[in-house]
Amino acid sequence: MEEEKSSSPRTTTTTHIALVSIPALSHQVSILEFAKRLLNLHHNHHHFHVTCIIPTLPSQNNNTFFFDSLPPNIHCIFLPPVNFDDLRNDSSMSLEAQLSLAISRSLPSIREALNTLNSTTNNNLVALVVDAIAHEALHFGKDLKNKNKPLSSYIYFACSAMLLSLCLHSRKLDQIVPCEYRDYPNLIQIPGCISVHGKDLPNSVQDRSSLAYKLYLRRCKDYFLADGILVNSFIEMEQGAFQSFLSQSQEEVIIPPVYAIGPITQTSGGRNNNNGWECLQWLDNQPPKSVLYVSFGSGGTLSQEQINELALGLELSGHRFLWANVREPNDKACASYLSGDGAEPLSFLPEGFTERTKEKGLVLGSWVPQIEVLGHGSVGAFLSHCGWNSVLESVVKGVPMIAWPLFAEQRTNAAMVTDSLRVALRPNNDNNNGVVLKEEIADIIKRLMEGSEGEEIRRRMEKLKDLAGCAFMEDGSSTKTLSKLALIWKSMAP
């Protein structure tokens, strides 16, 4: 049934936690980094064992370096790939719908893995924690018994508290807003957060007649069934959102306990390929805070026209840059999210660009150790797709941002970092068929890297960095919350 990584679960008495992730590396990294945080709590790391069940897709390449580097008391089970042959020619299905369908088709294997795990852990399996997109697996906790009681079941919400607030408010919004959200003339009010334009809500809500929207509403409804929701954020960054969960529970609906356990980020990007070494060595030779790091994440893609404009804008700005994960052009922003890298990226760049910028720029077509890049003293800013992992990594390292969202919830994240936290600038792509032109790209780079506006943003990001560091100190807010969870789970063990 399954392919196993790491060692087998211990037979000694431990508190055992089961995780269920989704076929997306960014989500897998986040939930497993959470597991590492749990194990590393100073007073209980010898008492926990974690097993993570991971559905897979046929086209997926697992990052073996990350999984091979996990500690021995984290055990991963990779399920057999789901069959998507019937959807091979369906280009209309959104990313969110594909991931949800992958989980639905993996449910029998997930159930079998959980039953096997529960029968072989000496009844020490005390809690089930499922990725927010794997919400259907939440119901399995009711079938698994610990001390003749249903297993405690939790949602791991790998995104912001702002997005969770939107999800928990979704049914009410669905009744209030009479049209497509993007066409709504008023701002969308999200409890405890800034109000946003409808166009900045996640992709999954942008077509209310679509399968993706129906799945989104079903997912949000299931969140209320959880015994708790673990959010990868911290109170000091999203105080209003976390406060709103308490007030809504008192006034409108009963929201499960919400635990702020972030910022959970990858602790090391690793240096297991030549590009990882090359980019860090290149950064070693650049002046402090002089480099703009450009990356659209593990799957973001740009059109050929936008690649041209971005390249020429970087050149026009006159600033140093490291552009990583450059991929084959595609008009679908998430084209590479569920598949491997395409052809040689340098062939898609404007003619002569690489030669003209070789003294100031480095372009790479594959993975780089992002957490180490952001922590490098030469990096002064981050042009990012605003995936939540990247946002948190930028916060943890104190690097101001240019917000360039592509798909999923990235526009909502961009609105937060730009308009609420004010640690980012955002280019305008309302004109020119959504293409950001080279002149605006050059201008926004200069605004962030030079002058008083960039300095103010940098100061705010430094303050946020300090707050993020405090959250995981021994008496920090997130450490206390995670310790509280650990004590709850340990109390359930025999």
> Which residues participate in catalysis according to the annotation?
27, 131
Residue 494's SS3 state is: coil
Query: How buried is 119 (Cβ within 10 angstroms: 0-12 exposed, 13-18 middle, 19+ buried)?
Result: exposed
Q: In terms of DSSP bridges, do strands 145-146 and 149-150 run parallel, antiparallel, or are they unpaired?
A: antiparallel
60: tokens are 């997926």
What is the residue type of 356? R
Q: Is 152 helix (H, G, I), strand (E, B) or coil?
A: strand
Question: Token digits for 159?
Answer: 């995104």
Is the Cα torsion angle 255, 256, 257, 259 positive or negative in sign? negative
Beta carbons within 8 Å of 467's beta carbon, 6+ residues apart: 234, 236, 237
The amino acid that residue 304 corresponds to is Q
Q: Is the CB of residue 395 less than 8 Å from the CB of residue 465?
A: yes
Integer Cα distance of 478 and 172 in angstroms: 30
**Encoding tokens for residue 89?**
């020619």
Residue 2's CB is within 10 A of a number of other CB atoms, namely 15
What is the DSSP-derived secondary structure letter of residue 196?
Answer: B
